[in-house]
């Protein structure tokens, strides 16, 4: 068996880390110069075109989970594991038409929570906001953990150093550039990721005998090739529903819908889904190849980068390092920007009791970004032995329970606050119980199923008649403020509710 020792020297690892860390900081600050006001900082001026829109969708969805969890799924669950992770692309396909609907209904919107608050009221907003924040923090933590594990496996850099540098770099350039910096760097990162993955896939396939892999699995681990592997089948549908829930509810994707020009979102998300679909399948093959190649795996979630780097040597390890580092940065910056929007627009401003000026919103955003980065660092630091799948899918039951309230609220008048709130609450509870007593691979499945049943019952028992025109009302704005004082109370001269 081949020992799972670092492929790169620590010096090479630190050099690559410094080069790409400084590059993202420079590019983020350079692109962020366009963020002249809060709209520019939070939703990139609502003017993102198709090329940048597609790139940011692809780069954000190619997370470290794609490059690290897809091989882990294949290693543990076989062929269905790799295919099951690929079903997450269905979420992008389904969100494509929804993004157009969102942009049409809420031309002045900022967050997914704002939609829930306007559509269902506070009774549904509280559970949805709690779920959104919990999921965002969980995703941030897994990104930090993945960065630490990647650097440790590839270059022997201590886990603590890895998570610190990766999170710090993303916090710095997101802090200065907001959504302009996020989408700008996503464009470069998506190109690097896609080119790098194609090169890695071709190089690995040229060195691995697929018939040998099949024969070794047939002899030693036949269940990985079985189409009737029960846990794998459940994981397939669980991951598909988790992907729907992730995208439908997360402000990472809503903020992009608000950032894109009208009509761009559906095309960008559909193209993003097509580009992303084959990636987890190719990455999953690395997990299937590990047993046949005799590569020792101490941590299953590092199997993909480790197999590729072992087969391809130093050059391959450098390429894998770059690809995974880019995938980390493209997701962490998106989470920092989108979650800070939630904190500013859906917690701090409502607590202030009045609309506040742009300077104060910008300062709140900066504090939120720093605070989120610090929180992710602390939890990732204390959870260095945890599994990425175990941590990430803890949020699965909750995001799965949001699918039906989002879809129903966007397209139908009948769903009301009681149906939405109870669907999220009962779906989350049932899914978490399944996660705890059965396994991570059924949590989202149970949560989405129970939520759907409760939501349908709620719509039948307590029907509603919502006017969608209310969603397009321009939010109240603070009064004109003198330059020296940004925090004056808002006057009553907000834009009339019928004007948009």
Among 151-165, 321-335, 396-410, 465-479, the range scoring the smallest mean pLDDT is 465-479
Q: What is the pLDDT of residues 484-498, one digit of tens each?
A: 333 333 333 333 333
Q: Which residues pair with 260 in a beta bridge?
A: 48
Q: How far apart are CA 68 and CA 153, in angstroms?
A: 12
List the end-to-end C-alpha distance of the chain, in Å, as a whole number.
Answer: 66
The 10 Å Cβ neighbour count of residue 401 is 35
Sign of torsion over alpha carbons 487, 489, 493, 496: positive
CA neighbours closer than 13 Å in the CB half-sphere of residue 439: 9
> Residue with structure tokens 């062929």?
79
Quote the strand ranges of 14-158, DSSP E: none
Average pLDDT over residues 308-319: 78
Average pLDDT over residues 37-41: 87
238 Cβ neighbours under 8 A, 6+ residues apart: 84, 393, 396, 441, 442, 443, 444, 445
Residue 88 pLDDT: 85
Q: How far apart are CA 167 and CA 332, in angstroms?
A: 7
Report CA-CA distances (Å) from 184 to 27, 52, 170, 177, 311.
Answer: 8, 7, 13, 10, 33
| Length of the chain, in residues | 500
Q: How far apart are CA 470 and CA 468, in angstroms?
A: 5
Average pLDDT over residues 226-243: 84
222 Cβ neighbours under 8 A, 6+ residues apart: none
Residue 486 pLDDT: 38
Domains of the chain, by residue range, sit at 10-381
Q: Quick one: pLDDT band at residue 289, thresholds 50, 70, 90? A: confident
**Per-residue tokens: 440:** 């991570």
The DSSP letter of residue 110 is: -
Q: What is the pLDDT of residues 324-372, one digit of tens each?
A: 888 888 889 989 999 999 999 999 999 888 888 888 998 999 999 999 9
Q: DSSP secondary structure string, 152-201?
A: HHHH---HHHHHHHHHHHHHHHHHHHHHHHHHHHHHHHHHHHHHHHHHHH
Residue 475 pLDDT: 67
pLDDT mean across residues, the chain: 84
Report CA-CA distances (Å) from 441 to 210, 234, 326.
Answer: 28, 6, 28
308 Cβ neighbours under 8 A, 6+ residues apart: 200, 204, 286, 316, 317, 320
Q: Quick one: pLDDT band at residue 98, thresholds 50, 70, 90? A: very high
Q: How far apart are CA 136 and CA 392, in angstroms?
A: 10
Q: How far apart are CA 214 and CA 220, in angstroms?
A: 10
- Asked if 168 and 329 touch (Cβ cutoff 8 Å), the reply is no
Q: Is the pLDDT of residue 464 over 50?
A: yes
- Asked if 259 and 184 touch (Cβ cutoff 8 Å), the reply is no
Q: What is the CATH number of domain 10-381?
A: 1.20.1730.10
**Per-residue tokens: 383:** 């959870």
Among 9-23, 311-325, 370-384, 434-448, the range scoring the smallest mean pLDDT is 311-325
Residue 493 pLDDT: 37
Helices (H), ranges, 250-302: 251-259, 265-276, 278-293
- Asked if 174 and 140 touch (Cβ cutoff 8 Å), the reply is no
Residue 355 pLDDT: 81
- Asked if 401 and 423 touch (Cβ cutoff 8 Å), the reply is yes
Burial class for 327, CB neighbours closer than 10 Å (0-12, 13-18, 19+): buried
Give phi and psi for 291, each to the nearest 5. -60, -40
- Burial pattern 229-265, b for ≥16 Cβ within 10 A else e, equals bebbbbbbbbbbbbbbbbbbbbbbbbbbbbbbeeebb
CA neighbours closer than 13 Å in the CB half-sphere of residue 327: 29
Largest CA distance in the chain: 77
Among 33-42, 164-173, 244-253, 425-434, the range scoring the smallest mean pLDDT is 33-42
> Residue with structure tokens 């003198």?
482
**Per-residue tokens: 410:** 């966007």
115 Cβ neighbours under 8 A, 6+ residues apart: 102, 105, 106, 109, 254, 409, 410, 471
Percent of the chain with pLDDT over 70: 90
Residue 487 pLDDT: 33
Q: What is the pLDDT of residues 292-303, one digit of tens each?
A: 777 766 667 677
């Amino acid at each position: 068996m081949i020992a799972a020792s670092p492929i790169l020297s620590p010096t090479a690892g630190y050099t690559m880390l410094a080069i790409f860390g400084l590059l993202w900081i420079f590019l983020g600050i350079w692109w962020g110069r366009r963020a002249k006001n809060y709209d520019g900082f939070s939703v990139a001026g609502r003017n993102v075109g198709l090329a940048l829109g597609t790139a940011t969708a692809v780069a954000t969805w190619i997370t470290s989970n794609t490059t690290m969890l897809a091989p882990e799924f294949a290693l543990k669950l076989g062929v269905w594991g790799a295919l099951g992770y690929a079903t997450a692309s269905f979420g992008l396909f389904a969100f494509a038409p929804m993004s157009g609907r969102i942009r049409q209904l809420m031309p002045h919107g900022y967050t997914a929570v704002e939609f829930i608050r306007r559509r269902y009221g506070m009774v549904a907003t509280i559970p949805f906001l709690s779920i959104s924040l919990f999921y965002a923090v969980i995703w941030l933590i897994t990104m930090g953990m993945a960065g630490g594990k990647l650097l440790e496996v590839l270059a022997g850099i201590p886990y603590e150093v890895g998570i610190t540098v990766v999170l710090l770099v993303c916090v710095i350039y997101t802090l200065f550039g907001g959504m302009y910096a996020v989408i700008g760097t996503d464009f470069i990162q998506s190109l690097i990721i896609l080119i790098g993955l194609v090169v890695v896939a071709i190089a690995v396939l040229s060195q691995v005998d697929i018939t040998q892999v099949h024969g070794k699995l047939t002899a030693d681990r036949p269940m990985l090739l079985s189409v009737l592997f029960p846990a794998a089948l459940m994981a397939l549908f669980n991951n598909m529903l988790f992907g729907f829930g992730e995208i439908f509810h997360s402000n990472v994707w809503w903020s992009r819908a608000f950032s894109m020009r009208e009509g761009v979102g559906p095309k960008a998300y559909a193209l993003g889904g097509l580009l992303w679909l084959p990636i987890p399948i190719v990455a999953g093959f690395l997990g299937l190849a590990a047993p046949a190649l005799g590569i020792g795996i101490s941590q299953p979630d590092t199997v993909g980068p480790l197999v590729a780097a072992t087969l391809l040597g130093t050059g391959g390890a450098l390429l894998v390092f770059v690809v995974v580092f880019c995938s980390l940065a493209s997701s962490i910056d998106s989470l920092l920007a989108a979650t800070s929007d939630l904190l500013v627009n859906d917690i701090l401003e409502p607590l202030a009791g009045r609309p506040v000026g742009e300077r104060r919103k910008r300062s709140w955003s900066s504090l939120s970004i720093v605070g989120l980065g610090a929180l992710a660092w602390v939890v990732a630091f204390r959870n260095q032995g945890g599994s990425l799948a175990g941590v990430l899918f803890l949020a699965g039951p909750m995001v799965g329970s949001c699918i039906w309230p989002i879809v129903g609220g966007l397209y139908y008048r009948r769903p009301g606050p009681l149906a939405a709130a109870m669907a999220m609450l009962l779906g989350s509870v049932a899914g978490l119980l399944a996660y705890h007593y059965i396994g991570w691979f059924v949590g989202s499945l149970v949560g989405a199923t129970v939520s759907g049943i409760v939501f349908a019952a709620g719509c039948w028992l307590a029907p509603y008649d919502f006017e969608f025109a209310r969603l397009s009302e321009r939010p109240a704005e603070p009064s004109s403020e003198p330059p020296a004082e940004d925090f004056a109370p808002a006057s009553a001269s907000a834009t009339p509710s019928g004007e948009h």
